[in-house]
Amino acid sequence: MLFGAPQYLVSGLTVGATYGLTALGFTMIYNTTGIINFAQGEFVMLGGMLSVVLLKAGLPLPLAILAAVLCSALAGCLMERAVIRPVGRSAPVNLVIITIGVSILVRGVVMLVWGKDTFALPAFTGAKPLRILEASVQPQSLWVLAITLLVLGALKLFFSRTIHGKAMLACACERKAAALMGISVERMAMFSFGMSGFLGAVGGAILTPITLTSYDVGVMLGLKGFAACILGGLGNPFGAAAGGLILGVLESFGAGFISSAYKDAFAFIVLLLLLFVKPTGLFGGPKSDRV
């Protein structure tokens, strides 16, 4: 009955890590601005696509990925500066529509420039699978998990040790008070968009060797990231990461044990059931701090 379970667990964790990184991006922006950024999936797509493009342009792989991730972070900052900040404090729904518009725009630009093809990225260290506990694990899966953990650790340090991190936390807790303490809330908002661009792009770049990429992969990844965010409790970064991993594993188990045709549905069915039972997500209490 449980034949294949370790295998599903590994592949679930791998994909889940990307959902988690996407969800982290959602959380960053939500915490500092209260916006659900529907262009989040496009950051993931940009990470993958730009890596491929830069690699083809002749850059070595690590450098290509680094450049892609930085470009995406820049795109995030640019997005905040160009379309979010000018609108200021308008209704959240309007801001959400703007992010949807941006996602269409980004998808359109990528499609026009690089076409509708599917692209691949080579695995970081070979494609020869390792055998761990009856599961054949691609080295790339280990990379994905390791990098995700690394990013999580770095974030933890960033929020607890650096002045910027603390300033962002302050914005999340109480924007007005943060502004009164001399924190530029606007700059923090831009910073959070940049960071979520960065996080999404990292997820996209490390997952592309496994799942391939194309101009429209961002839609589903964005939705799953949003789902992971809600699953973990909106506004809680580590809940978001955990939500991503849980979502990935559920999906993988559902595909393996029940039916692969309904793979994408399992995650959402579980999520709906959870929401009906505990409407604030797994790790979100009504009174919990938002970070």
Which residues bind to another protein, rule: CB under 8 A? 36, 38, 83, 86-87, 90-91, 93-94, 97-98, 100-109, 111-112, 219, 223, 226-227, 230, 234, 261-262, 264-265, 268-269, 271-272, 275-276, 279-281
Distance between CA 233 and CA 29 in Å, rounded?
Answer: 14
Shortest separation between residue 153's beta carbon and another protein, angstroms: 28
Closest CA to 205 of 71, 94, 95, 84: 71
Residue closer to another protein (CB basis): 87 or 157: 87
- Beta carbons within 10 angstroms of residue 25's beta carbon: 33
Shortest separation between residue 262's beta carbon and another protein, angstroms: 6
Shortest separation between residue 271's beta carbon and another protein, angstroms: 5
Residue closer to another protein (CB basis): 74 or 109: 109
| SS3 call for 237 | helix
Distance between CA 12 and CA 248 in Å, rounded?
Answer: 4
Residue closer to another protein (CB basis): 170 or 229: 229
Residue closer to another protein (CB basis): 27 or 138: 27
| SS3 call for 184 | coil
Residue closer to another protein (CB basis): 164 or 263: 263
Shortest separation between residue 275's beta carbon and another protein, angstroms: 5
Shortest separation between residue 273's beta carbon and another protein, angstroms: 9
DSSP state of 87: G
Residue closer to another protein (CB basis): 173 or 275: 275
Name the CA radius of gyration of the chain, rounded.
Answer: 19
Distance between CA 160 and CA 165 in Å, rounded?
Answer: 7
Backbone dihedral region of 276: left (phi > 0), alpha (psi from -120 to 50 degrees) or beta? alpha
Tokens of 244: 């991503």
Backbone angles phi, psi at 130, to 5 degrees: -95, 155
Shortest separation between residue 83's beta carbon and another protein, angstroms: 6
